[in-house]
Structure 1
Amino acid sequence: MRFRRIYLLLPVALAGAGAGAYWWARPLAVVGTPVRAGPAADVVYATGFVEAREPVEVAARVTAPITQVLVDEGAQVVRGQPLARLENGEQREAIAQLAAQSRAAALDEQRTVAIFRRGFATAAARDRAVTSAQAARAAEAAARARLDQYVVRAGISGVVLRRDAYPGALATPTKVLFTLGNPKLMRVTATVDERDIPRVVPGQRVAMTSDAYKGHVYRGRVYEITPAGDPTQRAFRVRVAPDAPDLPMGLTLELNIETAVHPQALLIPAKAVRDGKLWIAQGDRAARVAVQTGIEGGDTVEVRAGVARGTCILADPPADLGEGTRLKVTGC
């Protein structure tokens, strides 16, 4: 009876082993994607605004109330053009007084010189009269020259970027009344996080966008990095020269500073790389290879070594995938 049982169970065992062999030989269905070539750019994000490259702040040279403002913001001005006038009544009275003194000194000079020529005055008296007349004329000329200080004039030719002058307000030498700038000499000043500043160097290309002009990309180039950062914001200022001076002053921008650009990089899905390795399909078998990655951008990463263009990689392989597993790949 014992041998009979073994004889009956043996076919069943063999049948089970055959079924298992068939099951493990079935290929694993996976989705692959080929390694493709395309542009990859490593960028540093920043925010900035448009300003004049050489802004000129204009203040009064004397302290006096403003009587008249002659320009508005956005006005084109030329060097020396009056921007505002100040109350100059006291200065005019001073000029009138000095003019009278100058006339009196001139008459005294004439009389003393005439008397000296006739021998009735000393040379010292003549010299005193001449000197007094010269001093009076110089004082009058200086007072008349100071009268021009009651006119606030443009220091450069350009555009009035900002006006803080209003009739009736008191102008002082320490108060900026106007800010001027040349619209052809503008720049974008961006704030870059101190962790990213080592990657930024002059000459790098910059792409700039603004919510005010959706769909339009402005281009520029980094030309200066301030040597001192802001410890409060933990950031540095980076200057960008726009390619075309058609940006309005004061416009805020979002900047992508291109720190590295590879036009023909090998690109793969970022999720395919795990611990520096990825799965590929070699024929109908799975193989795991080590790769060196580069620029990362969202769902895509650059691979610099380990696979070639066109290699079929498994973007989302099963967690229990093993080396040499038979595959049925779609997508490559």
Structure 2
Amino acid sequence: MKRITLWLLLAVLLAGTAAYALLGGRAREVTTATARIGEAVELVYATGFVEAEHPVSVAARLTAPVRQVMVDEGDRVRRGQPLILLDDEEQRHALQQAGAQRRVAMQDERRVVALFAKGWVTRAARDQAVAAADSARAAEESAAARLDQMAVRSGMDGIVLRRDVEPGDLAVPSRTLMTLGDPARIRITATIDERDVPRIHAGQAGLMSSDAWPGRVLRGHVREVTPGGDPEQRAFRARIVTDAPMTLPLGLTLEVNIVTRRVAQALLVPATAVYDGRVWVVRDGRVHSRAVRTGIVGSSDTQILAGLSRGDAVIAKPDDTLRENGRVRARR
């Protein structure tokens, strides 16, 4: 009798287990999101920095030791203002010598011209004296110009962005001593990965941010993409200008997102809902795997081109434990 009862209990237990499995097991709780209509934005991420729109490199025209540096980084300068003084002792001596030769030549010119007027010298002698005086005057002007070049002057109104010279350094024409720029005329230079360059063109919107201003978004647009890239970095440079005039610290680094495409009425689901080209749709308390075709993939949302309809509930973060037709309890 006890054995028959035991068999009956075992049969009931097996039947209950089978029914539990048939019904799909215990419902697990999942977080769902609704497929919605919104704007899909495709972005290209880059890093950039603020620089003067027309930076000017300052170099000496002659080779000479640096005697004095008259400005420092951040100083405002005016066009024609002396920035660097070079050792000009040799040029001063040359100017004095040229002046003495000019005075002698002019005296000879006056004497020969007077003698020519009286008929005592030939026209050729007079012309030679006049030419010698003209040459002496030109030599003095040239010596004065070289002396003036010993003062390296600013070619623009702006500020000193960078100073790379100290007294005692040797200035040569090939060496940049300073860099000048106008802080009122700036641009952002962004480094673009060469894989993204085909999607970037002039006129596209740029959204920029910096840790210096948390939560602030600067808006601009691409003005140009440099035709030549850097083969070592495998990158190109995009020049971005702000939509509204603004003053930004030169050298400030920025995170740049360039908007390459917009779709106003796009079907969107969370980016985490799409895995390996499929989503899990929740319907009547059960889940079903569905293949989808995606469009713009953003950091938070993904555009669905086919496979879903507006209002479909999808699992926001599916995992490998989900099974087709499994029971779930949805939580939005």
With the length of structure 2 as denominator, give the TM-score of the two structures. 0.83
Deviation at 1:182, TM superposition (A): 1.7
Indicate the residue corresponding to 1:135 in structure 2: 135
Distance in 1 between the 2:206 and 2:254 partners? 11
Distance in 2 between the 1:180 and 1:321 partners? 67
Deviation at 1:274, TM superposition (A): 4.5
Query: CA deviation digits over 1:182-241, x for unaligned, max 9?
Result: 212222222222222222222222222333443333222222212222222222222222
Residue 121 of structure 2: SS of its match in structure 1?
coil
Indicate the residue corresponding to 1:278 in structure 2: 279
Deviation at 1:260, TM superposition (A): 2.5
Tell me the matched-pair count: 320
Stretches of structure 2 that go unaligned for 5 or more consecutive residues are: 1-6
Distance in 2 between the 1:213 and 1:95 partners? 56
Stretches of structure 1 that go unaligned for 5 or more consecutive residues are: 1-8
Deviation at 1:108, TM superposition (A): 1.6
Indicate the residue corresponding to 1:237 in structure 2: 237
Query: In the superposition, relative to structure 1, how do residues 152 and 314 fare at CA in structure 2: closer, same or farther (>3 Å)?
Result: closer
Indicate the residue corresponding to 2:112 in structure 1: 112
Query: In the superposition, relative to structure 1, how do residues 279 and 164 fare at CA in structure 2: closer, same or farther (>3 Å)?
Result: closer
Distance in 1 between the 2:135 and 2:328 partners? 107
Equivalent residues in 2 for 1:49-198 (5 A)? 49-198=49-198
Q: CA contact under 8 A between 1:162 and 1:178: conserved in structure 2?
A: yes
Indicate the residue corresponding to 1:3 in structure 2: none
Deviation at 1:282, TM superposition (A): 4.6
CA RMSD of aligned residues (A): 3.1
Residue 120 of structure 1: SS of its match in structure 2?
coil
Matched, 1:313 2:314: yes
Residue 93 of structure 2: SS of its match in structure 1?
helix
Residue 143 of structure 1: SS of its match in structure 2?
helix
Indicate the residue corresponding to 1:259 in structure 2: 260
Partner AA of 2:305 in structure 1? R
Q: CA contact under 8 A between 1:27 and 1:328: conserved in structure 2?
A: no
- Structure with higher Rg: it is 1
Identity of matched residues, %: 51
Q: CA contact under 8 A between 1:42 and 1:259: conserved in structure 2?
A: yes
Q: CA contact under 8 A between 2:288 and 2:324: conserved in structure 1?
A: no
Indicate the residue corresponding to 1:6 in structure 2: none
Indicate the residue corresponding to 1:5 in structure 2: none
Indicate the residue corresponding to 1:303 in structure 2: 304
Indicate the residue corresponding to 1:294 in structure 2: 295
Query: CA deviation digits over 1:159-185, x for unaligned, max 9?
Result: 211112322222221121121112122
Partner AA of 1:219 in structure 2? R
Partner AA of 1:128 in structure 2? Q
Partner AA of 2:185 in structure 1? L
Deviation at 1:266, TM superposition (A): 2.6
With the length of structure 1 as denominator, give the TM-score of the two structures. 0.83
Distance in 2 between the 1:220 and 1:321 partners? 48
Deviation at 1:149, TM superposition (A): 1.0
Deviates further, 196-205 or 309-318:
309-318
Distance in 1 between the 2:142 and 2:328 partners? 98
Distance in 1 between the 2:112 and 2:16 partners? 142
